[in-house]
Structure 1
Amino acid sequence: MVNIRSLDPSASPLDYYGSELRRLREEAGLKQQQLGDIVFCTASLIGQIETAKKVPTREFSERLDAALMTGGLFSRLVGLVLKSQLPTWFQQYAEMEARAAYISTYQAQLVYGLLQTRDYARAVLGARTEDDLDTKVAARIERQRVLGRETAPLIWVVMSEAVLRQEVGGRAVMRKQLAHLLAMQERKWVKIQMLPFEAGAHTGLMGSFTLLRFEGDPDIVYTEDFVQGHMTANPGAIREGSLRYDHLQAAALSVEDSVALIARVMEERYGDQPEPDGRALA
């Protein structure tokens, strides 16, 4: 029997998306199976999304817009849906990140979220638990849409050399991730500097942090612990974060030398070597 659970459209973006999908599908005179055939999915998936039991993807939403001729409604809604799937404590930061004109970040252990490949993000987010992993990955990749804006923020990333050498997801995943970093370096608004091990003690030893700058609004500094993130516009914290970041940039390799280091590690550590089972890495 078809699940016709009643939704409260005001309960969440996911509930609103599901109620709109059901309303527009029924207005078009389509059964779930018929719509599923058109957008290349099962009737069960249509039903799960209509009852807010499954989170839609951007690709699914674009196919819905074409099938139901909605003028891009679902493509717009899915951004809100995916943002709502981020941890509650992270949602406000994600909104600030999307509005920032300039992002400067130091990353001690991981590739910055806006520069992660899908497979790398999947390995990171699935390290503790794989519950709702597809949704978590989709939400992280959705944040990266800011990079495609006509007025994308200037992003300056300083990363520890440890980020390149910490194998996350296997050698194939790491090779693609480092290749992605090299490709991102070609964008004029993305700059990456690597902080080599030889730098010794430095001002980022206390951990990763991010500075967000806006046009017309106060700057923000963001840090995380293993429980949640912390955002502040306190002038003293901004000054301290800016000073630490300036020191990190000064200690890091130049952008050009950083490209060379990324490329060297990609080939030497994650190149065409046999996997433990004897298979060659493509």
Structure 2
Amino acid sequence: MHINTLDPGASPLDYYGFELRRYREAAGLTQRELGKIVNYTGSLIGQIETARKLPTQAFSDAVDAALGTGGLLSRLLDLVLRSQLPSWFQQVAELEARAAEICTFRTQMIHGLFQTEAYARATLAAMDETDLDDRTAVRLARQRILKKEHPPVAWMILSEAALYQEIGGPQVMRGQLAHLLSFENNPRINIQILPFSAGAHAGLTGSFTLFRFDSDPTIAYTEGYGSGHPTANQDTVKDCSLRYDHLQAAALSLRDSAELIRRVMEERYGEVAEVQLQQ
């Protein structure tokens, strides 16, 4: 296992493993003994200690309690999971974590901050099924910012097309749309649908996101194939902000958006529709 060569400065995952090992040994426990206490295998603990396996929130909470770390491992988990994102996306995750307001427009797919586990898994598996459990967990970990003591205000304008883009099958889509509706009475998370009837609109050039901060300049973010493009260029930010204002004006109200989501969920992905699709 070469555990003695673990470098805590190599990555957040290595640091997590190093601290786990240090606290375990200070408690005089073997990997197997700690595993019995927290209901995980000693082998899994060994893999996490040597940075070969990603920890989870449940694991971190259990080990923190068992070893009396004061919550250290749970606090490290955000850094660990963020470090596992594609390198080009890590800066975006940091912007999400720091932003006071996130305004995003999506054309064909629901934003990662609002995806269910099943929907996220289906999107990630579209062309690559390797390490799917870990990649899904890493994506979902970004959503932890919505549960902070002071979460950002989030706006998502979603093209109506995304409601019909059947990712993962009818059951997955029904669960995903139900998840969107769960935010209906949350004033900090606002979802508007841009209907087909809007016709030509300010977002025809594609999806984009605005990150606004309490004291830093606003960042506009767009994506290309396998790359992200954050910028604080004032002209770009002004253009994206103007486009977002026009998209909000063209989109349905929050109440009407929720009604459309509910209607599509029932009519397209309801139990009767599922039976028809299976026949």
Structure 1 residues 202 and 7, CA, compared in 2 at 3 Å: closer, same or farther? same
Structure 1 residue 276: Cα displacement: 5.6
Tell me which residue corresponds to 1:94: 93
**Which whole-Å CA distance do the structure 2 matches of 1:3 and 1:215 have between them?**
46
User: 1:197 — aligned with what?
Assistant: 196
CA distance in 2, matches of 1:169, 1:5: 43
1:256 partner amino acid: R
- CA drift of 1:85 comes to 0.3
Aligned equivalent of 1:57: 56
CA distance in 2, matches of 1:270, 1:105: 25
Q: What TM-score, normalized to structure 2?
A: 0.95
**Contact 1:210 1:223 (C-alpha < 8 Å) held by counterparts:** yes
Unaligned 5+ segments in structure 1 are none
Q: In structure 2, what is the equivalent of residue 39 of structure 1?
A: 38
Q: For the aligned residues, what is the CA RMSD? A: 1.4
Map of 1:212-227 to 2, 5 A cutoff? 212-227=211-226
Taking a change above 3 Å as real, the CA distance of residues 150 and 24 of structure 1, as seen in their structure-2 partners, is closer
Matches within 5 A, 1:1-282: 4=3, 6-272=5-271, 273-274=274-275
Cα displacement (A) at 1:5: 5.1
Describe the superposition over 1:97-125 as per-residue Cα deviations: whole angstroms up to 9, x where unpaired.
11111111100011111111111111111
**How far off its partner does 1:185 sit?**
2.1
Show structure 1 runs of 4+ deviating over 4 A.
275-278
Of 265-274 and 133-142, the range deviating more from structure 2: 133-142
1: CA distance, partners of 2:108 / 2:278: 28
For 1:185 and 1:3, how far apart are their aligned partners in 2? Answer: 51
SS of the equivalent of 1:194 reads strand
Deviation at 1:137, TM superposition (A): 1.5
Paired amino acid for 2:100: A
2: CA distance between counterparts of 1:3 and 1:267?
A: 55
1:277 Cα deviation from its structure 2 partner? 5.4
Q: How far did 1:251 drift? A: 1.2
Deviation at 1:54, TM superposition (A): 0.6
Distance 2:227 2:101 in 1: 23
CA contact (8 A) 1:101 1:214 kept: yes
**Aligned with 1:184: secondary structure?**
coil
TM-score, with normalisation over the residues of structure 1? 0.94
CA offsets per residue over residues 52-94 of structure 1, 9 Å max, x none? 1111111111111011111101101111100100111111111
Between the aligned partners of 1:175 and 1:145, the Cα distance in structure 2 is 23
